[in-house]
């Protein structure tokens, strides 16, 4: 059972601003719980199943945040962007305040499943190739995809900056110019470079799955949702567990 915390600390932990600002939110009568207005920022409250209402919006308490986001094209996965707006501009302000980070980056023109969290251990686990967690990308290409190219991807290709071969752990041809490819690493522009190395190109790139977690069909582009423990279990299933 989680230890009760002061309301001010709870608001602060969720990213609603400085401790002082969080107290002021309460004094300004902008915080309620289950329809009851909160009056005392020092009031101790259990965080178990807690849903706050802050400035008219419901907010589930999560000690650590794990979210799935459907990334649109033309957004960068960075706080300090160069040419395009940041994916963080599409998320609620408290997420940015509490330091959520993308779990591995997608290129500005790549769309689809992006995880975002403030749990450093989780971020490491999901991005290290040692855990063998598969990421599935749907690729469309200008040139028809050949069996020879698929065999080459499965066997492994050597990219120019690293002698270790990069391989696809699975490839499923979905159409003449469409391929679903699974990889466990996250090297720079990996999919695009792998496709170029086998003599084709990427027109569009869309991530659909991580581990056994499939992007929900009702999560529209630009939308996010909380991930719960069942989702986290699916996410951390390794490629070997998928094959078993």
> At closest approach, how far in Å is the CB of 175 from ligand URA?
20
Which one among 38, 106, 168, 197 touches ligand URA, defined by CB under 6 A? 106
| Residues in 201-220 at the binding interface with ligand URA, rule: CB under 6 A | 205
Pairing of strands 157-159, 111-117: unpaired
Q: Name residues whose C-beta falls within 8 Å of residue 171's C-beta, 6 or more positions apart in sequence.
A: 150, 153, 154, 179, 180, 181, 182
The 22-51 site mask, x for binding ligand URA (CB under 6 A), equals ------------------------------
Joined together, the tokens standing for residue 94 give 């408290």
Instruction: Check binding of 179 to ligand URA (CB under 6 A).
Output: no
Q: How many helices (H) and strands (E) does the chain have?
A: 8, 17
Please pick, from the candidates 14, 47, 70, 110, the single residue that binds ligand URA as defined by CB under 6 A.
110
How far is Cα 210 from Cα 184, in angstroms, rounded to an integer? 9
Residue 78 tokens read as 């960075």
Q: Which of 24, 107, 109, 203 is catalytic?
A: 107
Pick the binder of ligand URA from 24, 43, 107, 119 (CB under 6 A).
Answer: 107
User: Which is closer to ligand URA, CB of 52 or CB of 153?
Assistant: 153
- Nearer to ligand URA by Cβ, of 14 and 110: the residue is 110
The length of the chain, given as a count of residues = 244
Structure tokens belonging to residue 61: 């308490």
Q: Does 81 bind ligand URA (CB under 6 A)?
A: no
CB of 131 to ligand URA, least distance (A): 17
Q: Which is nearer to ligand URA, 107 or 242 (CB)?
A: 107
**Cα–Cα distance measured from residue 113 to residue 134, given in angstroms and rounded to the nearest whole number:** 13
Task: Using the minimum distance from each CB to ligand URA, give the nearer residue, 116 or 205.
Answer: 205
* CA distances from residue 213 to 30, 137, 216 in whole angstroms, order as listed: 36, 13, 9
Find the radius of gyration of the CA atoms of the chain.
21
H/E run at residue 129: none
Is-contact 207 193, C-beta < 8 A?
Answer: no
Q: Which stretch binds ligand URA (CB under 6 A): 28-36, 87-95, 106-114, 140-148?
A: 106-114
Please give the Cα distance from 179 to 206 (Å, whole number).
Answer: 11
Sites for ligand URA among residues 183-202 (CB under 6 A): 189-192
Q: Is residue 107 annotated as a catalytic residue, yes or no?
A: yes
Tell me which residues touch ligand URA (CB under 6 A). Answer: 106-107, 110, 189-192, 205
Point out the residues that are catalytic. 107
């Amino acid at each position: 059972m989680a230890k009760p915390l002061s309301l001010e600390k709870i608001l602060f932990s969720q990213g609603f601003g400085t401790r002082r600002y969080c107290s002021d939110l309460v004094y300004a009568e902008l915080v309620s719980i289950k329809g009851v207005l909160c009056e005392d920022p020092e009031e101790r409250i259990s965080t178990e199943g807690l849903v706050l209402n802050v400035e008219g919006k419901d907010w589930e308490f999560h000690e650590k945040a794990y979210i799935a986001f459907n990334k649109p094209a033309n957004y960068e996965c960075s706080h300090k962007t160069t040419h395009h707006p940041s994916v963080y501009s599409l998320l609620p302000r408290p997420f940015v305040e509490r330091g959520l980070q993308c779990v591995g980056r997608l290129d500005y023109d790549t769309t689809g499943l992006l995880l975002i969290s403030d749990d450093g251990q989780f971020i490491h686990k999901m991005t290290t190739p040692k855990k063998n967690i598969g990421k599935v990308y749907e690729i469309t290409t200008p040139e028809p995809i050949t069996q020879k190219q698929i065999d080459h991807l499965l066997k492994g290709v050597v990219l120019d900056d690293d002698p270790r071969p990069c391989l696809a752990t699975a490839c499923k041809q979905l159409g003449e110019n469409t391929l679903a490819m699974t990889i466990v690493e996250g090297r720079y522009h990996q999919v695009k470079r792998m496709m170029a190395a086998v003599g084709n190109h990427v027109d569009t790139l869309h991530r659909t799955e991580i581990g056994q977690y499939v992007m929900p069909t009702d999560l529209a582009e630009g939308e996010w949702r909380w991930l719960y423990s069942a989702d986290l279990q699916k996410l951390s299933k390794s490629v070997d567990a998928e094959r078993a």
